[in-house]
A and B are shown apart, each in its own frame.
Chain A
Amino acid sequence: MTTHFFGDAAVLTGRSLKHVTRSIDTIITTAIVPIAMMLLFVYVFGGAINTGSDSYVGYLLPGILLITIASGISYTAFRLFTDMQAGIFERFQSMPIARSGVLWAHVLTSLIANLISLVIVVGVALLMGFRTGANVLDWLAVAGILLLFTLALTWIAVIPGLTAKTMGGASAFSYPLIFLPMISSAFVPTHTMPGPVRAFAEHQPVTSIVNAIRDLFTEQPVSSDIWTALAWCVGILMVAFAFSMVIYRRKIS
């Protein structure tokens, strides 16, 4: 059965990618909120924010990219939820195929759809004057971190996708994730925040990830932030994956 795993997963990924390309609005809505926030912060609030860097759009971009991913994965939960409701999930599970391929197809689709949204957002940032001297290696490191972050959040999204009772429940979980970058170093330096807020901001995953990406974009030597960032991503990924698998096994047994 496992001999067909990659073939089956590829066929199923092709199917859910058709869902993405046929509802292009999901990619646009994924990208439009972060883009609107970027415009708002750069052209409205930005003048009053002193980050100590020359270009606010450059300062802002890492956090905006994380918000893009956080809103993008809610569609993963939505697509999985729809499959569960429609009974097509059960049809696949009752067929002689590599069963976990059904889940992996959704995860792969999530990675691809988010990648497209991220490219659009970076494109808009470039139009708004974002410049970086980052070399290919730096870009690869940024892509790697974002990929890992997407993967971690996608496995979180699988949980409501499998368990939600309503459409709203399946996608509502992403709101706090979108909000998390607000209380981090994404928009303003954390040292301007009052004590407890600052303590939270500096010890939550977004700050280390934002700082690591920002260092890479501004060609600073990467600090320990990158290891904290990677540890957060891998940690979230492992916990979310383990949870999803427990729920999935319970669903199919």
Chain B
Amino acid sequence: MNTQQAPAIHVRDLKKSFKEVEVLRGVDFDVARGSIFALLGSNGAGKTTAIRILSTLLKADAGTVSVNGFDVVTQPAKVRESFSLTGQFAAVDEILSGRENLVLIAQLRHLDNPGAVADTLLERFGLTGAARRKVLTYSGGMRRRLDIAMSLIGNPPVIFLDEPTTGLDPEARIEVWQTVKELAGYGTTVLLTTQYLDEAEQLADRIAILHKGRIIVNGTLDELKKLLPPAKVEYVEKQPTLEDVFFALVGDDGKDGDADKSSNDASTTSNTK
């Protein structure tokens, strides 16, 4: 299989317009296997359009896109076997329970023991206690965790996360970050879009800034920092950030290790009590 050497995601000269509006005007980037790549951009920069083309939900006007070595136009079925999409809004079935959602996806991926797959993921994402409740009753963070858990079923080599933490509270956000780091630890390639600079900084091995339909820079965080004049030393009083204050007040109650810990044990982020 020659797909092993190819980058996990390969995008060349990707163009897409909606009527007169040029959303993508020639986008190029590659994502190395097992890395986390962040597509950073403000609202309307074209991030979601790019993700939709990569996940075979939208056809490009021009350019070549391959995922896991398969072309999205000529081998869409192979592409769909290679990735999982976690869209901008948690794509879960509210009428079903958390466990039923997972079983459903496992069945659609034709796995042998859907029930066992579901139980393992419920455990890993700290949702065991809520497993049999309707998703309608879940909090935003729980939905997002379930959403990501659904994406992991069948161990796809590539995961697309479209603004995974938009609309989440700070605690849920850190939980998602830990999950993403953990994924990359297992060798999954992660392409995430975000409008939060700190999210890209926290997670990504490489960051590309998408602006007005073009990638204007693409590099590691250090490379990006070098683009600006060297840091000069200034004396600034260290104020606590609002995040520090928030967590000091809300307290940790034995969960939610901080984001820098990059723990490999997702059960520490368990939300079930």
A36-44, A91-99, A166-174, A188-196 - the one binding chain B: A91-99
Check: B93 CB closer than 8 A to any chain A CB: yes
Secondary structure at the A interface, as helix, strand, loop or mixed, is helix
Q: Mark B203-224, 1 if CB is under 8 A from A, else 0.
A: 0000000000000000000000
Do B108 and A8 have beta carbons less than 8 Å apart? yes
Is the C-beta of B100 less than 8 angstroms from some C-beta in chain A?
yes
Residue of B nearest to A22 (CB): B95
Contacts of A252 in B (CB 8 A): 57
Please determine whether A86 and B100 come into contact, CB atoms closer than 8 angstroms: no
A97 to B85, CA, bound (A): 14
- Give chain A interface residues in 69-126, CB to chain B under 8 Å: 86-88, 90-97
**Residue ID in chain A nearest B77 by CB atoms:** A1
Residue among A22, A86, A92, A96 making CB contact with B89, cutoff 8 Å: A86
CB-defined interface of B75-113 with A at 8 Å, one 1/0 digit per residue? 001001101110111111111100010001101111000
Contact with B along A5-17 (1 / 0, CB 8 A): 0011001100100
Q: Say yes or no: A88 contacts B93, CB within 8 Å.
A: yes
B58: interface (CB < 8 Å): yes
Chain B contacts of A90 at CB under 8 A?
Answer: 57, 85, 87, 91
User: In the complex the two chains form, is A15's CB within 8 Å of B89's CB?
Assistant: no
Evaluate whether A94 and B94 lie within 8 angstroms (CB atoms) in the complex, with A11-B107, A15-B104, A86-B89 already known.
no
Cross-chain contact of B92 among A86, A92, A95 (Cβ < 8 A): A86
For B, the interface residue count at a CB cutoff of 8 angstroms equals: 29
The reply to whether B95 and A19 form a contact with Cβ atoms under 8 Å apart is yes
Question: Min CB distance, B65 to chain A, in Å?
Answer: 14
Decide yes or no whether B59 CB sits under 8 A from chain A: yes
> Is A18 part of the binding interface, using a Cβ–Cβ cutoff of 8 Å?
yes
Q: Are B81 and A96 in contact (CB under 8 A)?
A: yes
- Residue of A1, A15, A18 ringed by the most chain B CB atoms within 10 A: A15
Decide if B179 is an interface residue (CB 8 Å cutoff).
no
Q: Are B59 and A253 in contact (CB under 8 A)?
A: yes
B49 within 8 A of A: no
A96 to chain B: which residues have CB within 8 Å?
77, 80-81, 109
Contact with A along B40-78 (1 / 0, CB 8 A): 000000000000000111110000000000000000010
A27 nearest CB across to chain B (Å): 15
**B107 to chain A: which residues have CB within 8 Å?**
11
**CA of A244 to CA of B87, assembled, Å:** 25
Query: Known: A23-B95, A96-B77. Is A87-B87 also a contact (CB below 8 A)?
Result: yes
Nearest A residue to B96 by beta-carbon distance?
Answer: A18
Quote the shortest CB–CB distance from B9 to chain A (angstroms). 15
Judging by beta carbons under 8 Å apart, are A15 and B80 in contact? Answer: no
Please tell me if the beta carbons of A86 and B94 are within 8 angstroms of each other in the complex: yes
Q: Enumerate chain B residues within 8 angstroms of A93, measured Cβ to Cβ.
A: 56-57
Asked whether, in the complex, the Cβ of B100 is within 8 Å of the Cβ of A94, the reply is no
Taking a contact as CB atoms under 8 Å apart, the answer to whether A92 and B108 are in contact is yes
Provided the pairs A18-B95, A22-B95, A94-B57 are in contact, do residues A87 and B108 lie with their beta carbons within 8 angstroms? no
Bound CA span A23–B84, Å: 30
Known: A8-B108, A253-B59. Is A94-B93 also a contact (CB below 8 A)?
no
Q: Which 8 A-B pairs have the closest CB atoms?
A: A87-B91, A91-B91, A96-B80, A96-B81, A94-B85, A94-B55, A11-B107, A88-B91
List 26 A-B pairs, Cβ < 8 Å: A7-B110, A8-B108, A11-B107, A11-B108, A15-B93, A18-B95, A19-B95, A22-B95, A86-B91, A87-B89, A87-B90, A88-B91, A90-B57, A91-B91, A92-B108, A94-B55, A94-B56, A94-B57, A94-B80, A94-B84, A95-B84, A95-B105, A95-B109, A96-B80, A96-B81, A252-B57
A contact set with B: CB distance below 8 Å: 1, 4, 7-8, 11-12, 15, 18-19, 22-23, 86-88, 90-97, 252-253
Q: A94-B84, A95-B84 are in contact. List 9 more A-B contacts (CB 8 A).
A: A11-B104, A15-B93, A18-B96, A22-B95, A87-B90, A93-B57, A94-B80, A95-B105, A252-B57
